[in-house]
């Protein structure tokens, strides 16, 4: 008899973990059916996301580029830094793939405020096993890739250069090119005259929780449908 269809989710977070909490709450409310978070991984020792995980009974692990010996503290040599990142990425992929294939290895990885850019040494092995990776980025597809996306959109709005006076947020698949993976869901947000950067940031962040939940539910549903089709 085949096992029931299920989407196992692994979450990566670096800080407060409010997006992680949004997914936890959605799962508890039944808004992401037949799915569960099997583990949280953080790369900052004081990430409040770990407290959220403990309250929800979700195992968590701290794994850091410097603290776990991949890169020397204060290292500035670009080649050594890249080599360290490659080894860290490979070790983290190995850690994920070592999880029990029937009970804990994820079908989906959600980057929920994960302040680190993965390269091919993580994404390659993960993709080979068919594991999907998604990320939330506060910009529209093809606009303001990378850091300070909201600041850059706001500056363009102030200068009269923002297309249709709109920015937004998206959840996208993660590929090597930063923030350039195919979008899963997109939400446009119109900039307003007289609004401060802080007010725009607050409005954008207010949409993030619902979008990451909707995107996680969408992909989890597709994964479960695929499993059911194979049974």
DSSP 119-175: -HHHHHHHHHTT-EEEEEESS-TTSS-SS-HHHHHHHHHHTT-SGGGEEEEEEEE--
The answer to whether 61 and 81 have CB atoms below 8 angstroms apart is no
Radius of gyration in angstroms for the set of CA atoms belonging to the chain, rounded to a whole number: 18
Whether 137 is a known active-site residue: answer: yes
Tell me the β-bridge partners of 136.
Answer: 171
**Which of the following is catalytic: 68, 121, 137, 205?**
137
What's the DSSP call for residue 3?
P
Q: What residues are labeled active site?
A: 137
């Amino acid at each position: 008899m085949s096992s029931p269809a299920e989407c196992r989710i692994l979450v990566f977070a670096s800080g407060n973990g409010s997006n992680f909490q949004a997914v936890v709450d959605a799962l508890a409310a039944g808004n992401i059916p037949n799915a569960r978070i099997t583990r949280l991984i953080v790369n900052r020792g004081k990430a409040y996301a770990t407290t959220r995980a403990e309250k929800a009974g979700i195992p968590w692990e701290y794994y850091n580029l410097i603290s776990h010996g991949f890169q020397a503290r204060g290292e500035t040599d670009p080649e050594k830094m890249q080599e360290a990142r490659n080894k860290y990425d490979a070790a983290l992929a190995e850690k994920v793939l070592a999880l029990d294939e029937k009970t804990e290895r994820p079908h989906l990885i959600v980057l929920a405020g994960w302040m680190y850019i993965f390269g091919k040494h993580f994404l390659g092995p993960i993709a080979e096993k068919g594991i999907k990776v998604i990320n939330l980025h506060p910009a529209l597809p093809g606009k303001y890739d990378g850091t300070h996306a909201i600041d850059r959109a706001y500056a363009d709005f102030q200068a009269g250069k923002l297309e249709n006076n709109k920015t937004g947020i998206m959840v996208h698949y993660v590929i090597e090119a930063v923030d350039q993976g195919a979008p899963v869901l997109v939400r446009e947000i119109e900039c307003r005259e007289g609004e401060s950067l802080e007010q725009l940031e607050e409005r954008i962040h207010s949409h993030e929780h619902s979008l990451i939940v909707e995107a996680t539910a969408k992909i989890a549903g597709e994964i479960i449908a695929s499993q059911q089709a194979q049974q």
